[in-house]
């Protein structure tokens, strides 16, 4: 078990500055999820922790020891690759035993550890098969088995579920989380899927273009996104944004959105009178309002999923999404009125994108 500290880490590939000063602290036993759009540098960062990429600047410490110049095999980490990277010419048993074999462990110990890992992951019947003879989900499990027989200090996962179909992905998500609760090994998990991040993480690290946009507990990020990017990235369907202006008058502060309609200023929001802002409201925090109240919207498309109803509508010129637990039957073009839950709205500076919550 070990903590992981990433301090002001940089990475250059030739002339491109891919990781631009990243700080992350992962506590001992924590499950941290690195999430961000494709190409933002998540894999690169993970591979630097693994020792597969050189660190151009800054410091990475595992278990309190700086590992910048430590080769991968001495870092005591295990990684699950996106393509699983199973040795195709070895049976499942040998794939899992490979690291122990290289470490020259006694045969009996190897067998015992492989069998134990196989039991945990339900791989008992597959030990004598070759990777070719396995389904995607089974291969994924073998890749995890290979990681856990090592009993390493840190697990690294690079988008381990992205090659699975949607249903299996949800199942494996739970399984990985269960596994972590059982083994309590410090884990760093990379994904581009914010739902995976929300459901699995103790700590989420949102990255964009080589920098960390925000780190925190999942619900913290959901409730208090630090900027427009995080607000739009975390949560599905994504948060709605309306261009707006702050109006501070004698009778209190309000936010004026399109069409001159005003709504109350979110709690704790700073900002001066006349400041251009972006007003954010999550689809699940919108409700239908009576005539003359809330914001006027025009229905574009209605998508019932069974569990809830997603309504795509236009407020002024801006597309918004609303999710209702109840079933509604709107027609396209129908005029409705939407009111946000004023306790749960967000305000961002229009220029910097930073949250105006203080």
Partner 1 sequence: MNRLFNNKHFLGMLFMLPAGVLLLVFLTYPLGLGTWLGFTDAKIGRAGHWIGLDNFQYLVGDSVARLALFNTLFYTVVASALKFALGLWLALLLNRRLPFKSFFRAVILLPFIVPTALSAIAFWWMYDAQFSVLSWALERMGLIHTYIDFLGDPWNARFSTIAANVWRGVPFVAICLLAGLQTISPSLYEAAALDGATPWQRFRHVTLPLLTPIIAVVMTFSVLFTFTDFQLIYVITRGGPLNATHLMATLSFQRAIPGGSLGEGAALATLMIPFLLSAILFSYFGLQRRKWQQGGRD
Ligand X SMILES: Nc1ncnc2c1ncn2[C@@H]1O[C@H](COP(=O)(O)OP(=O)(O)O)[C@@H](O)[C@H]1O
Helices and strands (H and E) in the chain: how many:
8, 20
CB of 331 to Mg ion, least distance (A): 43
Q: Which is nearer to ligand X, 14 or 124 (CB)?
A: 14
Q: Which is nearer to ligand X, 15 or 252 (CB)?
A: 15
Residues with Cβ within 8 Å of 215's Cβ and at least 6 positions away in sequence, in order, are: 24, 203, 204, 205, 206
Instruction: Return the H-helix or E-strand segment holding 47.
Output: helix 42-50
Give the distance, in angstroms, between the CA of residue 65 and the centroid of all CA atoms in the same chain.
27
Kindly determine how many residues on this chain lie close enough to bind ligand X according to the rule CB under 6 A. Answer: 11
Query: Can residue 6 be called a binding residue for ligand X (CB under 6 A)?
Result: no
Query: Can residue 43 be called a binding residue for ligand X (CB under 6 A)?
Result: yes
State both tokens at 244.
């707006």
Query: Can residue 40 be called a binding residue for ligand X (CB under 6 A)?
Result: yes
Q: What is the 8-class DSSP label of residue 355?
A: B
**What residues numbered 233-262 form the site for partner 1, per CB under 8 A?**
none
CB of 82 to partner 1, least distance (A): 8
- Give the one residue of 1, 12, 39, 342 binding ligand X; rule: CB under 6 A: 39
CB of 32 to partner 1, least distance (A): 19
Q: Which is nearer to Mg ion, 43 or 309 (CB)?
A: 43
- Give the one residue of 9, 26, 30, 42 binding ligand X; rule: CB under 6 A: 42
- Give the one residue of 41, 137, 152, 235 binding ligand X; rule: CB under 6 A: 41
Which range in 42-50, 175-183, 268-276, 297-305 contacts ligand X by CB under 6 A? 42-50
DSSP 237-295: SPPEEEEEEEEEETTEEEEEEGGG-EEEPPTTB---TT-EEEEEE-GGGEEE--TTSSE
State both tokens at 330.
């709107």
Please check whether residue 322 is in contact with residue 281, taking contact to mean a CB–CB distance below 8 angstroms: no
Please check whether residue 32 is in contact with residue 207, taking contact to mean a CB–CB distance below 8 angstroms: no
Please give the backbone phi and psi of residue 87, each rounded to the nearest 5 degrees, phi first: -70, 115
Residue 65 contact partner, candidates Mg ion, partner 1, ligand X, none, CB within 5 to 8 A by sort of partner: none
- Give the one residue of 38, 108, 250, 251 binding ligand X; rule: CB under 6 A: 38
Return residues touching ligand X (CB under 6 A): 13, 16, 18, 36, 38-44
Return residues touching partner 1 (CB under 8 A): 50-52, 71-73, 77-79, 81, 83, 85, 87-90, 98-99, 102-103, 129-133, 146, 150
């Amino acid at each position: 078990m070990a903590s992981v500290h990433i301090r002001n880490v940089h990475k250059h590939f030739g002339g491109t500055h891919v990781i631009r000063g990243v700080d992350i602290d992962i506590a001992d036993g924590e499950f941290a999820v690195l999430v961000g759009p494709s190409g933002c540098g998540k894999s690169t960062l993970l591979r630097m922790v693994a020792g597969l990429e050189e660190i151009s600047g800054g410091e990475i410490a595992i278990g309190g020891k700086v590992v910048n110049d430590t080769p991968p095999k001495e870092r005591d980490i295990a990684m699950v690759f996106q393509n699983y990277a199973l040795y195709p010419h070895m049976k499942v048993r040998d794939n899992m035993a490979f690291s122990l074999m290289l470490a020259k462990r006694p045969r009996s110990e190897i067998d015992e550890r492989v069998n134990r890992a196989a039991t945990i992951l339900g791989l008992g019947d597959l030990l004598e098969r070759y990777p070719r003879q396995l389904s995607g989900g089974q291969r994924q499990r073998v890749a995890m088995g290979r990681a856990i027989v090592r009993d390493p200090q840190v697990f690294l996962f690079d988008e381990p579920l992205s090659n699975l179909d949607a249903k299996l992905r949800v199942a494996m998500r739970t399984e990985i989380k269960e596994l972590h609760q059982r083994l309590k090994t410090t884990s760093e998990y990379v994904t581009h899927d914010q739902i995976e991040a929300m459901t699995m993480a103790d700590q989420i690290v949102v990255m964009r273009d080589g920098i960390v946009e925000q780190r925190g507990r999942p619900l913290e990020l959901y409730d208090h996104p630090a900027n427009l990017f995080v607000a739009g990235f975390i949560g599905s369907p994504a948060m709605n944004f309306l261009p707006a202006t702050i109006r501070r008058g004698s009778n209190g502060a309000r936010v004026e959105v399109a069409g001159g309609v005003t709504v109350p200023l979110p709690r704790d929001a700073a900002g001066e009178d006349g400041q251009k802002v972006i007003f954010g409201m999550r689809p699940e925090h919108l409700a239908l309002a009576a005539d003359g109240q809330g914001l006027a919207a025009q229905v574009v498309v209605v998508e019932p999923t069974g569990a809830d109803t997603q309504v795509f509508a236009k407020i002024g010129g801006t597309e918004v999404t609303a999710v209702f637990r109840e079933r509604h039957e709107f027609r396209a073009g129908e005029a409705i009125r939407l009111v946000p839950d004023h306790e749960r709205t967000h305000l961002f500076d229009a220029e910097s994108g930073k949250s105006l919550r203080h």
